[in-house]
Amino acid sequence: MTFQVVLLQIVDNTTVALSRLLQLWFIKLTAQVIDIIRHYQSQLIKFLGALLSSNDNEKQQFQSNSLDVTVADNQDQWRYQAIVEDQTELICRYLPDTTILYVNDAYCRYFGIDRDELIGKSYTPVIFEADRTEVTRLVNSMNCSNPQVTIENRVIVNEQVRWTQWHNHCFYDEHGQAVECQSVGRDITRLKEIETELRESEGRYRTLIETIPQLVWVAQADGVTRIDYNQRWFDYTGQTPEAVMGKGWLSVMHPDDVESTLNHWPNAVAAGTSYEAEYRLRRADGVYVWHLSKAEPVQNQQGQIVRWYGTCTDISERKRYEAEHQQAEAALQQLNETLELRIAQRTAELITVNETLRQEIQERQQAEALLKSSEERFRRAIVEAPFPIFIHAEEGEILQMSQAILDITGYSSDEIHTIADWTERAYGERQRDILAQINRLYKLNRRINEGEFEVRTKSGKTRTWLFSSAPLGRLNGTRLVISMAADITERKQAKVALANRIKQQAAVAQLSQVALSGLDLTALFDQTTRLVADSLAVEYCKVLELLPNGRSLLLRSGVGWQADLVGQATVSSDRTSQAGYTLLSDNPVIVKDLRVETRFNSPPLLIEHGVISSMSMIIQGQDNRPFGVLGVHSKQHRDFTQDDINFLQAVSNLLATAIQRKQTEQKLYQLNLTLEQRVQDRTQALEAANQELEAFSYSVAHDLRAPLRAIQGFAQVLIEDYDAALDDLGQEYIHRMATSAEHLDILIQDLLTYSRLGRTEVHLQRVSVAAVLEGVLADLQPTLQFKQPKIKIDSNLPVVYAQRSVLKQVLSNLIDNAFKFVALDLEPQIRIWAERQELLGSDSQVNPQRVRIWVEDNGIGIDPKHQERIFKAFERLHGVEAYPGTGIGLAIVKRGIERLGGQVGVESTLNQGSRFWIELALG
């Protein structure tokens, strides 16, 4: 084969490669493609230079495409060999049966195989087994009319699978028989990866804009010509993709908004700044709805706008609010942050070959820079999120996670590389079940709420996270999922704490009722230990009673303990035990782990029952002496909260109150046993003394009246018969003697009346107050004629339960008092009336069965500080000279009313009269 033929094939292969690379570049591959293109350009120049340096015969043969000319001289052969060996492409010549005739150094270096091991053997072993059949088919497809074929297949290089591209050319003799084939290849593994990444990036872009809750659109540089939308636009407007492209979107805009909307675009395009406008879009049901349209420009390196990315957000509610409140300033501003879209540019039209390579490279670099910038922002948003976020792949790798995960759990990023690492640390023995749930997430096609999970931190504590997950497309063919969580530990703890507090308060309230019910202490202790153990969720609760010897405490009551221990077991009261230590402490004693406790020894009672955590406090008795200890114990490690401590303290205080009450009741009972007899004895003695005293008073008063009547008689005789014989001083003495005797007689009569009221047996019957008053006024007629008082008596006076004689004495004294204590220059005025008293009985019902009879005067009044004294015997507020009287009248009123089962009182202001009242049962 001639040098020109080989050169022609290389040039041809290079051209094919350039064409292929251009096609790949036009679908937005990375800058590595550009490097390969440049490389092929340099190789083409090399080959053309070699061709131009050949002799004229070779040029002529080359131009005529003669394939049967042989290499005539060694110089041309050497030049050909040097050119071929100098290539970085993989060059292989082989027979139609796949036997290798020649490979260049690049081929040997690539596969890591010596040339001697390749020549004369088939090229098939280096081909990936799954691709061998297709490679054979494509090689065999070459013929005289179509002697070239380009093959992309996988090969085995150093035990790794890599992608390669081969441009094959088959040469035929004059009979059309295949003579020899040549293949020029290159590694395209990275190109394949880039193609996959671009497809996945395009998929993520599409997933992102389809999940955004707004209407999303993409426009050309003018902002008006639209080239892409998300599905939400079509669903919302009812437009088809064909109808909406270009300027078709204007057809769903309200006619009144079209002109103003279009007028905004030239300014935004000229300034290269964000676009924002409000206009109405027609929904699929024909209703126009206000939207806020926002768009951001994308510029190339020359600063020219090449695309607009925008959204339309429904602001109909805001518009409605503005319409209803036209007189007020807008209180709300619609917040709609422009989402940073990680969008790979789509090619909307074919870029012709005449477009300069430099400009396309710049656009590609700009797109990659935007993509990297967006990805970096997305990464930072994940890392700096204030709540747990995982982005994980189907094979188990954690691609990204928020710093909040590490802050909350205490794990380092080096400890959590995979989902397996995370589940092992966070879930422990539940790892297998959690992994099964996570693996099901990779099949999701929508967001789901997974529910609550208990997560274990590095310190061993448990946190409650509320998880939700959503699919995130694929990366290199691997499905991705984003999982987010809200740490609701404090909320759960607060809810549990509130429930416990309510439960504890209910228990305290229940125990309070039990304590007040008078239940004996043993039953109270039993019920208390059951309620406390249930409220605090512990296995054991006990009440220890300090025995009289002060050296030990008896297990008085308890729950959870062995049945034969309650009422029998004792513990030491010295500070070597928890109970004894509690008796010496001012505060509750909390034990987190009894196994490592150093303040006191672990009692056998607690050790035998497997107790780990405890809490105990004093139960106070009478006289500030401890009654005993209230304690709770758990076989699990417990961190008792302040609410738990407060609850146990409240129960302890309640028991202390109940115990002190019982002890007080016991003392009172003992006192009552002796006091009752003493009271009976004293009462009998007092009754006997009163009877003797009243009998003595009656006897004295009766015996005094006989000589008093003689004195009165003789005084009257002296006045009538010897008045003229006496001088003035004698007359004054005799008159004073008569007056004193009369006063003493009245006093004795009052004393007899007062004494008689205490001894007289009272029989209550229905008595008319009006009838009694009529008798009183008749008896007082001589005095009334002298005083001439104005007396007003209401006509509707009631019937009461009383004894007529006693009631008459009471009313007589009140009326006599009313006109006696009146200033000399005033006319006495007396008013008598009655009113019913509505009293509350024990059943909280109104009891209208009592009546109050009032006797009102216009007398001198009584100072409030003396209003209690006037109802006592011999209590006078004025001298006899000013206002005559014995000082017993109101005492008679009080005793008489009390004998009738009633009450008496006065309302008075000094110098403004008085209102006396008596209260009796209504008849």
Output the DSSP codes for 229-240. E-HHHHHHH---
Up-side HSE of residue 629: CA atoms within 13 Å toward CB?
Answer: 34
Is the pLDDT higher at 271 or at 848?
271
Tokens of 128: 């990936």
CB-count exposure of residue 104 (10 Å: 0-12, 13-18, 19+)? buried
Nearest C-alpha neighbor of 586 from the set 614, 557, 624: 624
CA–CA gap between residue 457 and residue 427 (Å, rounded)? 9
Kindly give, in sequence order, each residue whose CB lies less than 8 Å from that of residue 514, ignoring residues fewer than 6 positions away: 524, 527, 528
Query: Quick one: CATH architecture of 385-487?
Result: 2-Layer Sandwich (3.30)
pLDDT of res. 72: 41
CA–CA gap between residue 605 and residue 552 (Å, rounded)? 14
Count helices and strands in the chain by DSSP H and E runs: 26, 28
Tokens of 469: 């997950």
- Using DSSP's 3-state secondary structure scheme, residue 73 falls into coil
Considering the domain 495-670 in this protein, what is its CATH number? Answer: 3.30.450.40
pLDDT tens for each residue of 682-739: 777 766 766 666 666 666 666 666 666 667 676 777 777 777 777 777 777 777 776 6
The CATH superfamily assigned to 760-921 is Histidine kinase-like ATPase, C-terminal domain (3.30.565.10)
The mean pLDDT of 593-616, rounded to a whole number, is: 87
Up-side HSE of residue 638: CA atoms within 13 Å toward CB?
Answer: 21
Strand ranges across the sheet with 90-94: 100-103, 90-94, 178-187, 160-172, 148-157
- Minimum mean pLDDT range among 22-36, 586-600, 698-712, 845-859: 22-36
The residue whose two tokens read 């006897």 is 699
Tokens of 401: 């996670």
pLDDT of res. 583: 86
pLDDT band at 513 (very low <50, low <70, confident <90, very high): low
- Residue 217's beta-bridge partner residues? 229, 310
The CA angle 895-898-902, to the nearest 5 degrees, is 140
Query: For residues 802 and 769, is the Cβ–Cβ distance under 8 A?
Result: no
Residue 108 pLDDT more than 60? yes
Q: How far is CA 724 from CA 720, 737, 846, in A?
A: 9, 17, 71
- Using DSSP's 3-state secondary structure scheme, residue 327 falls into coil
pLDDT of res. 740: 64
The mean pLDDT of 4-10, rounded to a whole number, is: 42
The residue whose two tokens read 């005293």 is 693
Tell me the range of 116-125, 349-358, 712-721, 904-913 where mean pLDDT is highest: 116-125
Is the pLDDT higher at 819 or at 561?
561
**Which long-range contacts (C-beta less than 8 Å, at least 24 apart) are formed by 125-129?**
125/156, 126/155, 126/156, 126/157, 127/153, 127/154, 127/155, 127/156, 128/153, 128/154, 128/155, 128/156, 128/161
Kindly give, in sequence order, each residue whose CB lies less than 8 Å from that of residue 344, ignoring residues fewer than 6 positions away: 28, 198, 201, 202, 205, 367, 371
Query: For residues 656 and 619, is the Cβ–Cβ distance under 8 A?
Result: yes
* CATH number 3.40.640.10 is the correct assignment for the domain at 3-188: no
The mean pLDDT of 894-911, rounded to a whole number, is: 86
CA–CA gap between residue 893 and residue 854 (Å, rounded)? 13
pLDDT of res. 867: 62
pLDDT tens for each residue of 381-422: 788 888 899 999 988 899 888 888 999 999 998 999 999 999
Query: Quick one: CATH architecture of 213-369?
Result: 2-Layer Sandwich (3.30)
pLDDT band at 822 (very low <50, low <70, confident <90, very high): confident
- Distance from chain centroid for Cα 823: 79
pLDDT tens for each residue of 223-246: 889 888 888 899 999 999 888 888
DSSP 861: -
Tell me the range of 26-35, 252-261, 887-896 where mean pLDDT is highest: 252-261
- Minimum mean pLDDT range among 107-121, 563-577, 734-748: 734-748
In this structure, is the dihedral angle defined by the CA atoms of residues 49, 51, 54 and 55, taken in order, positive or negative?
A: negative
Can you point out the beta strands (E) in 643-739?
none
Q: Which amino acid is at 864?
A: P
Tokens of 397: 């790798």
- Using DSSP's 3-state secondary structure scheme, residue 284 falls into coil
- Minimum mean pLDDT range among 341-350, 355-364, 724-733: 341-350
pLDDT of res. 86: 56
pLDDT band at 172 (very low <50, low <70, confident <90, very high): very high
The mean pLDDT of 89-113, rounded to a whole number, is: 94
CA–CA gap between residue 393 and residue 418 (Å, rounded)? 9
Query: For residues 734 and 719, is the Cβ–Cβ distance under 8 A?
Result: yes
pLDDT of res. 376: 72
Parallel/antiparallel/unpaired status of strands 790-793 and 829-840 = parallel
pLDDT of res. 6: 41
CA–CA gap between residue 242 and residue 6 (Å, rounded)? 51
CB count within 10 Å of CB 632 equals 29
Query: Mean pLDDT, the chain, as a whole number?
Result: 78
The yes-or-no answer to whether 213-369 and 385-487 have a common fold is yes
pLDDT of res. 693: 62
CA–CA gap between residue 518 and residue 789 (Å, rounded)? 63
Query: For residues 226 and 348, is the Cβ–Cβ distance under 8 A?
Result: no
- Distance from chain centroid for Cα 578: 38
Enumerate the H helices of 228-337 as residue ranges. 231-237, 241-244, 255-271, 316-324
Residue 20 pLDDT more than 50? no
Residue 353 pLDDT more than 50? no
CA–CA gap between residue 546 and residue 8 (Å, rounded)? 114
Query: For residues 125 and 214, is the Cβ–Cβ distance under 8 A?
Result: no
CB count within 10 Å of CB 888 equals 22
> How many angstroms separate the first and last alpha carbons of the chain?
151
In this structure, is the dihedral angle defined by the CA atoms of residues 387, 391, 392 and 398, taken in order, positive or negative?
A: negative
Tokens of 175: 């009979």
Query: For residues 51 and 74, is the Cβ–Cβ distance under 8 A?
Result: no
For 10: left if phi > 0, alpha if psi spans -120 to 50, otherwise beta; the answer is: alpha
Helices 804-820 and 889-899 meet at what angle, rounded to 10?
150
CA–CA gap between residue 666 and residue 685 (Å, rounded)? 29
- Minimum mean pLDDT range among 287-301, 508-522, 529-543, 827-841: 508-522
Enumerate the H helices of 788-828 as residue ranges. 804-820
pLDDT of res. 748: 66
Residue 505 pLDDT more than 90? no
- Using DSSP's 3-state secondary structure scheme, residue 179 falls into strand
Q: How far is CA 460 from CA 410, 455, 636, 801, in A?
A: 10, 10, 15, 84
Q: Which amino acid is at 562?
A: Q
**Which long-range contacts (C-beta less than 8 Å, at least 24 apart) are formed by 493-502?**
497/641, 497/643, 500/535, 500/643, 500/644, 501/643, 501/647
Query: For residues 161 and 154, is the Cβ–Cβ distance under 8 A?
Result: yes
Helices 521-536 and 642-721 meet at what angle, rounded to 10?
140
- Minimum mean pLDDT range among 77-81, 161-165, 712-716, 854-858: 77-81
Residue 879 pLDDT more than 50? no
pLDDT tens for each residue of 28-47: 333 444 344 444 434 443 44
Q: What b/e string do you get for 676-694 counting C-beta neighbours within 10 Å, with b at 16 or more?
A: eeeeeeeeeeeeeeeeeeb
